[in-house]
Amino acid sequence: MLGKMAGTKASDFDFDVCMPTYDYVFQPDVLRNKVAFITGGGSGICFTIAEVFMRHKCQTVIASRNLQRVQVAAKKLEEATGVQCLALQLDVRKPQDVMRGVDAAVDHFGQIDILVNGAAGNFLVPASGLSYNGFKTVMEIDTMGTYNTSKAVYDKYMSKHGGVIINISATLAYRGQLFQLHAAAAKAAVDSMTKTLCNEWGPQGIRVVGIAPGPIADTEGMRRLGGGAMGKQGLDQLAQNLPLQRVGTKRDIAECAVFVASPAASYISGHTMVVDGGSWMTDDNNLEAMGKRFMASAKL
């Protein structure tokens, strides 16, 4: 297992911050007495999912490879919300790690009511330049990681108590997004699991729902897919191509996750909700535009 990652320091994780103020859409205690296990919860979209869950009184476990990242994040989340957050180190590719993490969470909180499969890896690369190991790595993190964590949580808690599994997906496979062979295939497989596990685990009171974000501002995902090098002008241009004329926010995704986890969604299962303002239909998917994004991302 990784300890403090070589060359990292606490300030490396200052990027993700909690919202300075928060106006509630849903009842403030809608997730009271619930516990959520969130892979990838130390950064980006899943950090904000943890924050918004905690603002709704849900206790959380955030887990990823870098212990320091999740520890720093847990501290920020607890300070902002006054709700407990347990930081755990695990690699979703390793079943033993995942089982140990799930055991630790159940020992600590006594329950896991919500699982968010958010851990993922991605980069922009043409298929011709993608190595065998590059493809395998992303499949292992996104697809195998979702399977490994879902199975461990099912075996160790949800099979007897029910719950909600939220799979963070993507729209990349819908139009065969250029230079995203690996991540598109990995997330398409995740969407397939969302349906099969809905069918198989529904009788145990488990709902399985996907959320497929569009381009989300201030995230590693967006940075890696060219957004990091676009500058304000480039990002404005990107936004003009999108139906709602803006990229998404981490909060857009987190509010959907609260809805999905709440009783308001109690008859929703087996479906992947696209939370992208329609972006997948109009965002760039031609060689010229994506070639520019690839060149920009390669410079980062």
Q: Which of 94, 224, 251, 271 binds ligand HXC (CB under 6 A)?
A: 224
CA–CA distances in Å: residue 192 to residues 30, 254, 271: 29, 22, 10
- The answer to whether 83 and 57 are in contact (CB under 8 A) is yes
221 is a contact residue toward ligand HXC (CB under 6 A): yes
Structure tokens at 104: 């630790």
285 touches ligand HXC (CB under 6 A): no
170 binds ligand HXC (CB under 6 A): yes
CB of 234 to ligand HXC, least distance (A): 16
Binds 245, which of ligand HXC, ligand NAP, none (CB < 5 to 8 A, cut-off by type)? none
For 141: left if phi > 0, alpha if psi spans -120 to 50, otherwise beta; the answer is alpha
Looking at the Cβ atoms of 78 and 218, the one nearer to ligand HXC is 218
**Cβ closest to ligand HXC, residue 121 vs residue 163:** 121
Closest separation between CB of residue 185 and ligand HXC, Å? Answer: 12
The CB-of-224 to ligand HXC minimum distance in angstroms stands at: 5
- Using an 8 Å Cβ cutoff, are 214 and 275 in contact? yes
Q: Identify the H or E element spanning 290.
A: helix 287-299
Q: Choose from ligand NAP, ligand HXC, none: what does 158 bind? Cβ within 5-8 Å by kind.
A: none
Separation of alpha carbons 88 and 270, rounded Å: 28
Q: Are 190 and 210 in contact (CB under 8 A)?
A: yes
Beta-carbon neighbour count of residue 277 at 10 Å? 18
Restricting to residues 17-76, name those near ligand HXC by CB under 6 A.
none
Residue nearest to ligand NAP (CB): 44
Pick between residue 116 and residue 206 the one whose CB is nearest to ligand NAP. 116
228 lies in the site for ligand HXC, by CB under 6 A: no
For every residue of 126-181, DSSP letters joined together read -GGG--HHHHHHHIIIIIIHHHHHHHHHIIIIIHHH-EEEEEE--STTTTT-TT-H
Of 7-15, 48-56, 128-136, 201-209: span binding ligand HXC (CB under 6 A):
128-136
Q: Compute the least distance from the CB of residue 285 to ligand HXC, in Å.
A: 11
Tokens 């972006």 label which residue?
A: 279
Site residues for ligand HXC per CB under 6 A: 120-123, 125, 131, 133-134, 137-138, 170, 172, 183, 215, 220-221, 224-225
